[in-house]
Amino acid sequence: MVERVVFPFRGAELGGSHVATFTLAQAIQSQSQVECVVLCPPDTLIMKEADRLGIRTVSSQEAPTGRNNAVTDFTGIARRRRILDKEKVGSSCVVHCNDVNSLRAWGLPARLSGMGVVYHHHALNRMWWPPHLVSLGFANAIVCVSDSTMEAMRGWRRDATKALNPFDIDTSIDRQTTRQQLLDEFGWPADAKIVGWIGNFWARKRPAFFLEVAAALVKRDARCRFVMFGRSGDFSVEDIETKAVELGVAGVTAIPGFRQPVEANLAGLDLLLAPAPREPFGRALVEAIILGTPIVATRGAGHSEIIGNWGGGVLANEEDTAEEVANLCATVLTTPERYRLKPQRATEIAAELAPEAYADRMLSLYAQIAGPRRNRDAARALALRPGAPLPERAGSDT
């Protein structure tokens, strides 16, 4: 029986993997007696958000970082093990790592403490770097969030399995009301066509290209307006504002920063533009599809998987110019009803990705890798066949 799941993080900023983790943790705690704990650097957005959501937090006693080195991996083992030992409940604790840096830091201490380890692979990086490959050996089970992340893991761990992240979406939100709120806040006209960005300003997501498309699109249709919901990354908010001025779209572009809930950001949009060429999956796309917001996204990796499986928008090529992508956006804005899923289909997708069903499968996996070594070996031999679905939860003994 699993009694506690510890989710370690090493960074400071919130992203899609954190949202997925918190959604899973809340679902686990609402439908079982299992306690979830977020282990992270103190006074970070990660800790504050977990606290806000009612998930207990524990300080990792480390400064936030996005990188590892062999020295810090090794010298921190004893301290990290002491922290985990305090969280251990008998032999029924599982450590669930959501990025490879957390796995490198916490995987070995968890194993030394007799805990089962799950590694959730959210990235497209291939695990060829020797320290990363070593860290994969700490994981009793590996779960990938998409076909593209499975492909990245292929060859390193044949027992990896795929499971889409959980989504908890308020489908009752009123699109017209949310749209009007955006118009009122930014002083935009009633006939504005609102094109949105959702995500932090990382170079790989191409926020500058979003603004280039905006410049091309507003030349075609002066009613277009643009809103970018996100935080600083490789580009600061000031960098984005400067770029908007350079391209002549500062007067029609709002940059309100990171906001929640995500439904309020997405539902008021006439179009979501997602120009990142290699997203492992893309939470915002799935949320937009369910809420009825049409999409233009760059082809490749998770974007192709999402649009290919469910529809909801069109795909641009990575090499397309800003003018070519603007043409696609204009087409979608002209006939958005062509790209919206029927309400029944959107409801089916929401149910398929519901946190409750996902938590149930994860609890079953946790039960198989926690406790005696024979259970963990059995999980690797039987439950985690290449590409096999996560096991269904049996009974209520987890």
pLDDT digits (tens, 9 = 90+) for 273-313: 999 988 878 888 999 999 999 999 999 888 888 998 889 99
pLDDT tens, position by position, 29-76: 999 999 999 999 999 999 999 999 999 999 999 999 877 777 777 888
State the architecture of 4-168+354-383 in CATH terms: 3-Layer(aba) Sandwich (3.40)
pLDDT at 393: 44
Give CA 349 to chain center in angstroms.
17
Average pLDDT, integer, range 18-29 = 93
Of 275, 280, 288, the C-alpha closest to 317 is 275
Write out the two tokens for 1: 């029986």
pLDDT at residue 384 tops 50: no
Any bridge partners for residue 7, and if so which?
Answer: 38
Q: Quote the tokens at residue 269.
A: 């949009």
Task: Residue 304: name the closest of 314, 294, 293 by CA.
Answer: 314
Cα distances (Å, whole numbers) of residue 126 to 132, 143, 153, 288, 318? 9, 15, 6, 29, 21
Q: Are 282 and 294 in contact (CB under 8 A)?
A: no
Q: Average per-residue pLDDT in the chain?
A: 87
Nearest by Cα to 43 from 63, 68, 71, 29: 63
* pTM attached to this predicted model: 0.78
CB 347 within 8 A of CB 357: no
Residue 65, pLDDT score: 84
223 burial class (0-12, 13-18, 19+ CB within 10 angstroms)? middle
In whole angstroms, give the CA distance from residue 148 to residue 153. 9
Cβ neighbours, 10 Å, residue 52: 10
| Local confidence band at 155 (pLDDT 50, 70, 90 cut-offs) | confident
Level-2 CATH architecture, domain 175-351:
3-Layer(aba) Sandwich (3.40)
* pLDDT at residue 385, as a whole number: 39
Mean pLDDT value of segment 322-333:
96
Q: What pLDDT score was predicted for residue 125? A: 67
169: confidence class by pLDDT, cuts 50, 70, 90 = confident
- The pLDDT value recorded for residue 128 is 64
Helix axes 16-31, 45-52, angle to 10 degrees: 30
Helix (H) or strand (E) holding 144: strand 141-144
Structure confidence at residue 127 (pLDDT) = 63
Q: Which of 61-65, 223-227, 232-236 has the highest mean pLDDT?
A: 223-227
Query: Quick one: tokens of 344?
Result: 């029944």
Compute CA distances 382 → 119, 159, 185, whole Å: 17, 9, 55
Question: What mean pLDDT comes out for the span 11-29?
Answer: 89
- What is the reported pLDDT for 6? 97
pLDDT at 214 over 70: yes
Can 4-168+354-383 and 175-351 be said to share one CATH topology? yes
Per-residue confidence (pLDDT) for residue 387, from 0 to 100? 41
Rounded average pLDDT over 170-188:
92
Domain boundaries, the chain: 4-168+354-383, 175-351
First to last CA, the chain: 5
Q: Are 248 and 269 in contact (CB under 8 A)?
A: no
Show contacts of 371-377: CB within 8 Å, 24+ apart.
Answer: 371/91, 371/92, 371/116, 372/91, 376/116, 376/140
Give the whole-number percent of the chain exceeding pLDDT 90.
57
